[in-house]
Amino acid sequence: MAREFKRWLTQLMMTVLYHGRGGAYLLGADMTWKNACIPGVNCGYCRYAEAGCPWGMTQHTLSGFVLPFGWKVWGVLVLSALLLGRLLCGWLCPFGFAQELLDKIPAVKLPKNKLTYYLSYFKYVILLLFAGDIYFFDLHGLDWRWLVGALVVVAVFIYRSFCRFCCPLGAFYSLFNRVAVFGMSVDRRKCIGCQLCVRSCLMDCRRVGDRECIACGKCRQVCPTKALSLGCKY
């Protein structure tokens, strides 16, 4: 529980930091980092946002709208991926944190199953579509209130549904999960193969530290031999 509290506190701090412009207004200051991006999903159009979303900045750059940060965005993303992989999703992403809060609303929850596992591959399709169409996320004038509203409703019934099925940033980070410096690791000398870790995981993981692992650490709480650790893997 202590580890979970630390993770939630970190997520809350990052959310406040990324949207600190509202606090700056209250203090009479005008500050912005919107010529930079954060490594998590964030709405750069929000008036309280301090930094832009990497996908939005990439779209602007590809469409010919020159940004001060430009292609350096991808340098930040690759470096972040090599260091942290999908630990970023579990600890630093404001939208992931919002989905976890929505999951706390009492409702009938859809547990992970074979269907959700196969649906987890859909985010790679979205990643490919994004790479092939710079206007993909514009959705041709669709009212964003309906889109966001649908995501909110689904997140109440399915744990981190957007992260698991739709997020192209999560798909990108997952490609680096195995080689990332920090994340979940297993001490094979202690592991007895009971699979309690996988069964307790709310993501669509088949193994600790695989492409779907967001390093939330929930599996550590159920491991009978303390074979799991979160930190530097090398």
Q: What is the per-residue pLDDT across 160-178, written as a single tens digit (0 to 9) for each?
A: 999 999 998 999 999 999 9
Tell me the domain boundaries of the chain.
2-174, 183-232
What is the model's pLDDT at position 189? Answer: 95
**CA-CA distance, 52 to 36, in Å (whole number)?**
6
| Residue 156: its H or E element | helix 144-157
What is the model's pLDDT at position 232? Answer: 95
% of the chain surpassing 70 pLDDT: 76
Tell whether the model's pLDDT for residue 136 goes beyond 60.
no
Mean pLDDT, to the nearest integer, of 38-65? Answer: 70
The residue whose two tokens read 């996908």 is 55
pLDDT tens digits for range 85-125: 999 999 999 889 999 999 999 999 999 999 999 999 999 99
Tell whether the model's pLDDT for residue 27 goes beyond 70.
no
pLDDT tens digits for range 177-217: 999 999 999 999 999 999 999 999 999 999 999 999 999 99
Alpha-carbon separation of residue 196 from 8, 43, 47, 205, 221 (angstroms): 23, 36, 44, 12, 10
* DSSP secondary structure letters along 72-128: HHHHHHHHHHHHHTTHHHHHT-HHHHHHHHHHTS-S------HHHHHHTTHHHHHHH
The residue whose two tokens read 């019934």 is 157
pTM score of the predicted model: 0.86
Average pLDDT value for the chain:
83
**CA-CA distance, 94 to 100, in Å (whole number)?**
10
200: three-class secondary structure by DSSP: helix
